[in-house]
Chain A
């Protein structure tokens, strides 16, 4: 009997915990949730752009070999893509959020383009230009991060 009682308590606790999770996950996002999401997106984009810039610099210095650079660009491009996708997936719930989104969206677009330029650059001049652009994006994103944190 005691065993059964305990099982009931455990089962109830589990159900409550699960309901809590379900509620937490399904409630509509408010401003602070959106803020956190935007921060994450900005951070991901910043890291991806910085990775691209770093790889480009090392390519220019002859410090990496081809397949490695290809995989590293691919990882960065994938991360940048997921950041952009997340930004479009979630609608901003209020005015502040909207402003945040409008601030970040064009930078993400530019950074994604520059990343593509760097990954597909055929000569050093183009690569150097793309890397310079990427480093500019990184600085912008870093400024936003500092301001929003």
Chain B
């Protein structure tokens, strides 16, 4: 049991990255419109986030410094401030979207409009971040989020046409009626969602909160190499089940209810209930992840005291930032902006902000002053360098693709 709980951080981080509200819908939409022609993007994303999360976890465990410490230290106060502004924008927008996502999940269970749930969710989230132990939060929401495995079961029960799916996955490209621009737009969005900056902020800060030391490197690796692939698998299962159900019907997906339908179709009410519970846990977990990340990044940029291990009165600035983040997120939703569309925008912006976060990680992971003989090996460096190029390419392509394809609308 202890083993299982020790990877809760990795699982929660991965869930926030791979199956938060935007990804749940984006994966389902990609599955409906393109089949599994984006399967390779998920694989590429999983390898990329594993590689960089492993580095940041290692740096945090050995040196006790979280990622935004490194960003400031290596890029200087000005560039780091630009990165802070960009990351904070992405993180707060995502936080707002996740609050809406929790509301949407509750709406599916209660038929009460999600906007009425949002303030309630926000208060519960704040109380959780104010009072509840970090390990408690990650265990409850990380592990409950795993209920989304129901999508794997549903996919298997739907008796899919595996031959056609295999063909889509191995010969990727847009099907008839879709163009390459839209295809690549989805590819960039799914890739960015796998590597969102707040994942490494959260994971490395969580490592500090859990007081990992060089002795916990095994735990850190375990977290990374189990948690993120698991998150990727859940995302893939959503894509697969959506491709199986909606693909033949030539249907597109843009609401959470539609995403859940394959589970009802395959497993009835019980499956549907599990899917909704999974949505709730995953989006709430993502809301916690993004909420805490706002506090982490600001506090680490300025060198303030942060974290849930301290009494709130000893980390007053950190807790104030958390409160502001949540309030801004709620205010954003109260404009009745569609939370799902909101995350689609944030994915594009986060693609742009990625390089400034990942570059310092790669640099410091090679620094012997920091890591002694635990610096990157050849494999970590090769993978890290290749991904740095990919991340830069995605950052450059994101905005033009968004404009050309009108947010993938065609």
Contacts and interface: CB of A to CB of B under 8 A. Distances in A.
Interface of A: 36, 39-40, 43, 46-47, 50-51, 54-55, 58, 61-68, 70-72, 74-75, 79, 138, 142, 145, 149
A68 B108 contact: yes
Contacts of A72: 108, 255, 257-258, 261
Interface centre among B254, B264, B410 (most CB of A within 10 A): B264
A64 B258 contact: no
Given A58-B264, A63-B264, A75 B255 contact: yes
Contact of B265 (A58, A68, A71): A58
B162 interface: no
A47 B109 contact: no
Contacts of A79: 254
A51 B252 CA distance: 10
A63 B111 contact: no
B257 A75 contact: yes
Given A63-B264, A72-B257, A142 B250 contact: yes
A58 B111 contact: no
Nearest to B267: A63
B257 A58 contact: no
11 contacts: A40-B409, A63-B264, A65-B273, A66-B111, A67-B107, A67-B108, A68-B257, A68-B264, A71-B111, A138-B249, A149-B177
A68 B252 contact: no
Given A58-B264, A75-B257, A149-B177, A68 B250 contact: no
B133 interface: no
Q: Interface residues of B toward A: which range?
A: 20 to 34
B251 interface: yes
Interface string B222-266: 000000000000000000000000000111111101101100110
Nearest to B252: A47
Contact of A63 (B107, B110, B265): B265
A67 B269 CA distance: 12
B257 A63 contact: no
B272 interface: yes
A50 B272 contact: no
A54 B252 CA distance: 13
Nearest to A78: B255
Given A46-B251, A47-B251, A64-B269, A71 B264 contact: no
A51 B251 contact: yes
Contacts of A58: 261, 264-265
Contacts of B109: 67-68
B268 interface: yes
Interface string B145-176: 00000000000000000000000000000001
Given A47-B252, A62-B268, A149-B177, A71 B410 contact: no
Given A43-B252, A51-B251, A142-B250, A71 B258 contact: no
Given A63-B268, A142-B250, A54 B261 contact: yes
B276 interface: yes
A43 B32 CA distance: 13
Given A40-B409, A63-B264, A64-B264, A71 B108 contact: yes
Given A39-B410, A47-B254, A70-B111, 7 more contacts: A46-B250, A64-B272, A65-B269, A67-B108, A68-B260, A68-B276, A145-B250
B10 to A, nearest CB: 31
A39 B288 CA distance: 40
A60 to B, nearest CB: 12
Contacts of A74: 111
A44 to B, nearest CB: 8
Contacts of B258: 51, 72, 75
A50 B111 contact: no
A66 B87 CA distance: 40
A71 B272 contact: no
A143 B212 CA distance: 60
Nearest to A40: B409
Interface string B111-126: 1000000000000000
Contact of B272 (A47, A68, A142, A145): A68
